[in-house]
Structures are given as structure tokens and as C-alpha cells.
């Protein structure tokens, strides 16, 4: 019989075809192919520790009722409501259940793909049909749970983050009948507003992962992991959270639980000051005991993901067990369901159908609620308490905006780094210790000359960096605009024109070490005129991340080419200035190695700076220097319609470098 004629539900209730789908669950004979020898990785990276404290978890609590029963009943209700409004629910061309089969599962990649293929690909069709496009009898699915494209390696063997998405326009082109322009526009609007509808955390098919999910339900109290610096807290103003849905699961929770007081999320006054000694975070070595998964760490990582995409539901799944989390924004509470066994619980697919219906209905409700809010969601708000605190700060500090930053920063061995980037507003700064380059690029030999690290640092020995907007990214990592605050004698100084390069991965760290070593070599060889001051390289005590702190030199010349045409006009004076800078660099035996507009800066006074020396070479052959000058001449001449070879020849020989 054609699937087009199969009846799923009508006014008399559910028919066998629908019951068959809802009865699907995992086989009890799935084979555990995971290895206990797989290395486990700490999921908390640098940014995870710097989430705005008004967005982090304050409480982890049990739901207080069976989520399995609730979602099953919710599924019944939503389908029967549809039948009463739209008529009988029938299967369509794309309604093709794929029941779970016997298989060996090992990695998180295996678990995620198994869930998507045998459960989610079917159950996500219900909210598409019931809520988004009731008239679509073909069961085109406009919602899907992503599955990893590649098996992954390292930390991805044990954990694979995923999400539920709305389809993009290019994915809907294949649907028949095609969606109307109005429907496509509405889907695009929702997708831009809610990039991910729900957060999934898949783990490998192991007993370790099952124990992790079990431990998630044993969180008696929750303290968000922040940087380990002590004695220095940042002033963070309150912010208004996006709206929570009032119906669905929250109505059930609120009916059986007394809500935490909203004032419990307030922070005490006057906690941020730096006129005292700080205790730097304890250094985390790489040769210690292997990391053993801790439930609290994985809850924090998943919550951050949910905050970033403003999702309400979090699903933790390892094949052997599952927990469903519900994020309540106003009270900063994560409610966790009971442990669900996909191979033992009755009607597992029905529970998942109810879950996916609840996820989409929550998004649609919050979409309506947010459109009525006067204040933009998740923006910091000014309070009377905060304004007084700011006033008191300036009354007690003598701020100088024109310090001799180079002399002061270069002599301090501790950099406290905080973030002020949207969702990331650090409650506590991270401790970065000064480190020296690990090799001498001129001699090709390794050096080890790091300043001695201490537990306590008085104000005269540290400075505080606040990272703002991202400026760019490259082979060494990501560059951020930054400001610095530090104390000298009895005065507080501020300097707002800095750049901090952050290297996350080993390959990036290697490049950054090389770049820093090159900057030091430039100083020893007397090249300073077109080189920005560099104040040092520092390493995070807890994550091992490396940063390079340097002066801000203005916009790159690529800003003159917003369309990316590769053609940028230069004045004759600009050509002469840039060419002279490179000839002087070459005269000191330095090959830059990466001639691009992105690596040339010009400030408002017309001063030119060369940046990004991570590919630079020392004492190259004359042929290499000649080739780089030819490349530069081509770059500087490509914006002129009438440029010819003679002009390029003039550029190449325009200056005599001392």
C-alpha cells in the first residue's frame, strides 16, 4: 500500500502505522565497541570560563516529574489537536521510518549518526507537519538534527556537539510541492533569529559516558568554573535575559516548584579593584594525571552552547542513556530529566517526537514574546547600583590616558586578561605569565629564559587587558582590539590602542613563538621605524594558550579594497614609504615572507607598519629578497590602470637604505 494512503491518526485516535513508529527503540543487543584507552579531554576552554555571570548556570535541579511521561502525553495532545483542526493525519511520500537495527557503536560519531538516522530523521517530521506547514502531505521535513560529517579525532572521539536546525533555502529547493515565497521568507527570518533550535551533546557508546550522564543528576550545587585568579574581580553590570516561554514544560515546572528569587543573581557591590596583590592562577601542567570526565564540566560546556544560540533544550545522549535538559534563562537554572534508557524505555520514538514538538513550539512562542519586548534581548542594562559603582571607581582612581605604556608593560611579568565581547564578560580575569621565545631564529637554537613565576603579584608587577572586537584571524590565531589598565605608584593608567593575538592550537603557538622571536630579533638588528612596539608574549596558566601583546597600528591597507578586487590605489608617496620600509628590513637580513595588504598598516598620520612576521626568514639568499621586492612592486602597482614595468623598476630602486 502506498504511504500516501496510510492513515496515522484520526478522530478515533492513533492507527497501527503510527503506533509502529512510536514503538521504535534501540535494540538491547547493541555492541559496545568503545575503547577505555581513548584519551579524554577537558571540555572547558578559555572562553568557557569567561561567560557573563548573568548568563551562567546558578542552579542545576531535577525536573520533579517524569519527562518520558510528560513528552508522551504532550505528543498525544498535539497530534489530536492537529486532527481536530486539520483532519486525519496521513503518511506522505517522505514519511519513511528507519527502525533502529543491530549494530556495533563505539565513538560519539557512531552514536550521533545512529540517533539521527534511526530516530531524528523520522521524528523531526512531526513538528514540520503539525506547526510549520500543515498542508504539506508529502511530509517534507523543514527541521533536522545535524550529524557529524567526519568521525573526528582527539576530543571528538568521546564527545561530538550537535544541534537541531531549520532548513536553509537551498535545502528546500528539492521539496515538492515547493514552498511559497512567503513561507520561505518566514523560514529564513526564523533561521536568522534562531540559528540552532536545540543543543545536542553526543558521547561515545561507553560505560564512562553512561556514568557521566548519571553523575549529571547528582549536582547538589553548581559553581561556574571561572579563571583561577584570586584577589581581582571585574565589575559586570546586570543584563536582561531573552524571554522564557511561559507554556509547555515551564508551566509544568512552575506548578510544582517555588521559583528562586530573581535577586539571587545580583552581584555584590564594589568587588572589582586592582589596588592590591593578586594571587595568580595555579599553573596546570601537561604531564599530570589524565583527565577523567567530570559531569559539571560537560554541563557547563553544553550550557554555554545553549546560551550562544539562545536554545531552551539540551539533550545529552550516549546511546546507553539520555538526559534532557531545560534551560530557564531568568533564574539561570538547568533542569535535568531522569535518566532515559533508549533500549529499555517504552515508546522511545514517541518520547523523541514529543521532545521535538516541544522544542519547536517553545521557539515559536519565544519568537512572539521577543517581538513584544522593548529592550533588545541579552543586552547589558544600567542600574542605579551600577552607576553609583562606576562613579565611586573614578573617585578613587587617578586615571591617565597617556602613559609610557612600552616602558611599563615590558617590565611586568603577569598579564590579567578579561573579555568584553557580547556574551563574554569576564567575572574574573585569567592569569597569563610572561614567557620568552623558545628559539633563536638567527642561530636556529632553542633558548629557555622565562621569568620566574610567583604566586603573588603586587599592582606594580601586573597589568589588566580587556579584549574587545575581533580584528582578524590567521595562521597564528585570532587578533583582538584591546585596552590596558595598570597602576604605577599611586596612579591608574589606561591605554586603549593595543592588539592581542591569541593562539589556541599547537600549530598556532609554534607560529606565534616564531613571530615573537622575529620581533625581538628586529629590535636587536635596529629595525624599529616601521615596526609596532611589542610588549611581550604570555601564556595562560590554566589552558596553555599563548598571546602576543602589541601596539595597534591602524587599519590594514586591505580596508581600501572592501570588494576584494585586489586593486588598491596608492599615492606616489605611499609607494615610496612602503618600499623604503621593506628595503630597510631586507638590509638587516630579514625576509618578511608574506606580502599582502592585510600585513601592511597605515595610521591617520600616514605612518606605515609591517606586521605578521610568523613566516619571516633570517639571512635569506639575495634571490629571495629580490623576489619579495618584485612581489611588493606588483602589489603596490596593481591599482593603477596605466601602470607599466618602468614604474615598477623605479619603485624597486627608489631608496638607498643606510
For CA atoms 592, 597, 603, 607, give the dihedral sign: positive
Q: How many CB atoms are located within 10 Å of the residue 153 CB?
A: 8
Predicted local confidence at residue 70, as pLDDT? 98
Taking the C-alpha atoms of residue 616 and residue 312, their distance in angstroms, rounded to an integer, is: 48
Contact 279, 241 (CB under 8 A): no
| Run of H or E including 515 | helix 506-524
Measured torsion, CA atoms of residues 534, 536, 542, 543, in degrees rounded to the nearest 10:
50
Predicted local confidence at residue 274, as pLDDT? 54
Go through the domains of the chain in sequence order and give each one's CATH number.
3-225+295-371 (no CATH), 393-551 (3.30.200.20), 555-652 (1.10.510.10)
- 543: exposed, middle or buried (Cβ count in 10 Å: 0-12, 13-18, 19+): buried
Q: What are phi and psi of 393, to 5 degrees?
A: -60, -45
Q: Which value, in Å, is the radius of gyration of the alpha carbons in the chain?
A: 29
DSSP-assigned states of every residue in 574-591: HHHHHHHHHHHHHHTTEE
What does the block give as the cell for 41?
A: 579531554
Predicted local confidence at residue 562, as pLDDT? 82
pTM above 0.85, yes or no: yes
pLDDT, block means (10 residues), the chain with 658 residues = 73 96 97 93 95 96 96 98 96 92 96 97 96 92 91 90 93 83 93 97 98 94 94 89 92 79 45 71 72 96 98 98 98 97 97 98 95 58 38 40 67 96 96 83 67 89 96 94 90 91 95 94 92 95 95 92 82 94 96 95 92 96 97 83 43 42
Predicted local confidence at residue 337, as pLDDT? 98
DSSP-assigned states of every residue in 307-357: HHHT-SEEEEE-SS-EEEEEEETTTTEEEEPPPB-TTTSTTHHHHHHHHHH
Taking the C-alpha atoms of residue 109 and residue 162, their distance in angstroms, rounded to an integer, is: 10
Taking the C-alpha atoms of residue 203 and residue 86, their distance in angstroms, rounded to an integer, is: 40
Closest CA to 160 of 182, 145, 143: 145
Tell me the three state secondary structure of residue 193: helix
Q: How many CB atoms are located within 10 Å of the residue 115 CB?
A: 25
Closest CA to 470 of 47, 21, 25: 47
Q: Which residues are paired to 456 by β-bridges?
A: 279
Closest CA to 280 of 236, 224, 226, 232: 232
Taking the C-alpha atoms of residue 140 and residue 255, their distance in angstroms, rounded to an integer, is: 36
Question: Would you mind telling me the total number of residues written for the chain in this entry?
Answer: 658
Q: Who contacts 411 (Cβ-Cβ below 8 Å, separation ≥6)?
A: none
Amino acid at each position: 500500500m502506498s504511504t500516501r494512503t496510510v492513515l496515522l491518526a484520526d478522530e478515533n485516535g492513533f492507527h497501527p502505522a503510527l503506533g509502529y513508529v512510536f514503538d521504535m527503540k534501540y535494540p538491547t543487543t547493541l555492541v559496545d565497541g568503545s575503547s577505555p584507552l581513548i584519551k579524554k579531554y577537558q571540555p572547558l576552554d578559555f572562553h568557557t570560563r569567561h561567560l557573563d555571570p548573568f548568563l551562567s548556570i546558578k542552579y542545576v535541579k531535577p525536573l520533579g516529574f517524569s519527562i518520558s511521561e510528560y513528552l508522551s502525553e504532550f505528543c498525544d495532545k498535539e497530534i489530536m489537536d492537529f486532527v481536530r483542526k486539520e483532519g486525519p493525519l496521513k503518511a506522505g511520500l517522505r514519511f519513511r521510518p528507519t527502525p533502529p537495527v543491530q549494530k556495533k557503536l563505539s565513538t560519539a560519531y557512531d552514536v550521533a549518526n545512529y540517533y539521527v538516522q534511526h530516530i531524528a530523521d523520522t521524528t523531526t517530521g512531526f513538528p514540520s507537519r503539525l506547526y510549520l506547514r500543515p498542508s504539506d502531505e508529502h511530509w517534507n521535513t523543514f527541521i533536522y538534527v545535524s550529524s557529524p560529517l567526519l568521525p573526528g579525532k582527539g576530543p571528538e572521539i568521546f564527545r561530538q556537539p550537535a544541534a537541531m536546525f531549520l532548513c536553509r533555502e537551498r535545502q528546500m529547493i528539492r521539496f515538492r510541492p515547493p514552498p511559497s515565497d512567503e513561507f520561505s521568507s518566514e523560514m529564513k527570518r526564523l533561521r536568522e533569529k534562531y540559528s540552532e533550535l536545540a543543543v545536542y551533546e553526543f558521547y561515545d557508546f561507553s560505560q564512562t559516558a553512561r556514568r557521566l550522564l548519571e553523575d549529571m543528576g547528582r549536582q547538589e550545587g553548581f559553581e561556574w568554573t571561572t579563571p583561577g585568579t584570586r584577589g581581582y574581580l571585574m565589575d559586570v553590570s546586570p543584563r536582561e535575559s531573552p524571554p522564557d516561554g511561559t507554556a509547555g514544560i515551564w508551566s509544568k515546572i512552575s506548578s510544582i516548584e517555588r521559583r528562586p528569587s530573581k535577586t539571587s543573581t545580583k552581584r555584590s557591590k564594589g568587588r572589582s579593584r586592582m589596588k592590591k596583590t593578586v594571587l595568580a592562577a595555579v599553573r596546570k601542567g601537561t604531564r599530570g594525571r589524565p583527565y577523567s570526565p567530570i559531569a559539571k564540566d560537560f554541563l557547563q560546556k553544553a550550557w554555554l552552547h545553549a546560551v550562544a544560540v539562545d536554545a531552551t533544550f539540551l539533550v545529552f545522549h550516549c546511546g546507553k542513556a539520555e538526559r534532557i535538559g531545560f534551560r530557564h534563562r531568568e533564574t539561570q537554572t538547568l533542569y535535568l530529566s531522569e535518566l532515559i534508557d533508549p533500549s529499555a524505555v517504552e515508546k522511545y520514538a514517541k518520547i523523541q517526537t514529543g521532545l521535538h514538538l516541544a522544542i519547536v513550539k517553545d521557539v515559536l512562542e519565544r519568537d512572539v514574546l521577543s517581538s513584544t519586548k522593548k529592550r533588545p534581548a541579552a543586552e547589558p542594562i544600567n542600574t542605579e547600583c551600577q552607576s553609583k559603582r562606576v562613579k565611586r571607581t573614578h573617585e578613587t582612581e587617578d586615571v591617565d590616558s597617556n602613559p609610557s605604556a612600552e616602558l611599563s608593560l615590558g617590565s611586568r611579568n603577569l598579564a590579567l586578561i578579561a573579555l568584553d565581547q557580547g556574551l563574554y564578560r569576564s567575572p574574573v580575569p585569567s592569569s597569563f605569565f610572561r614567557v620568552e621565545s623558545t628559539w633563536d631564529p638567527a642561530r636556529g637554537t632553542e633558548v629557555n629564559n622565562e621569568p620566574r613565576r610567583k604566586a603573588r603579584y603586587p599592582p606594580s608587577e601586573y597589568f589588566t587587558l580587556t579584549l574587545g572586537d575581533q580584528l582578524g584571524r590567521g595562521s597564528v590565531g585570532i587578533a583582538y582590539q584591546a585596552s590596558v589598565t595598570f597602576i604605577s605608584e599611586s596612579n591608574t593608567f589606561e591605554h586603549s590602542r593595543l592588539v592581542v593575538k591569541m593562539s589556541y592550537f599547537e600549530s598556532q603557538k609554534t607560529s606565534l613563538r616564531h613571530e615573537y622571536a622575529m620581533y625581538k630579533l628586529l629590535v636587536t638588528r635596529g629595525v624599529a621605524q616601521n615596526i609596532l612596539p611589542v610588549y611581550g608574549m604570555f601564556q595562560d596558566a590554566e589552558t596553555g594558550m599563548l598571546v602576543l601583546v602589541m601596539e595597534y597600528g591602524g587599519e590594514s591597507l586591505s580596508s581600501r579594497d572592501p570588494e576584494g578586487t585586489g586593486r588598491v590605489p596608492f599615492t606616489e608617496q605611499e609607494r615610496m614609504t612602503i618600499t623604503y620600509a621593506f628595503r630597510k628590513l631586507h638590509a638587516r637580513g630579514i625576509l618578511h615572507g608574506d606580502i599582502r595588504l592585510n600585513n601592511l598598516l597605515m595610521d591617520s598620520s600616514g605612518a606605515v607598519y609591517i606586521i605578521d612576521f610568523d613566516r619571516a626568514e633570517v639571512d635569506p639568499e639575495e634571490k629571495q629578497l629580490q623576489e619579495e621586492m618584485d612581489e611588493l612592486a606588483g602589489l603596490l602597482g596593481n591599482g593603477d590602470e596605466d601602470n607599466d614595468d618602468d614604474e615598477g623598476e623605479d619603485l624597486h630602486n627608489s631608496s638607498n637604505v643606510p
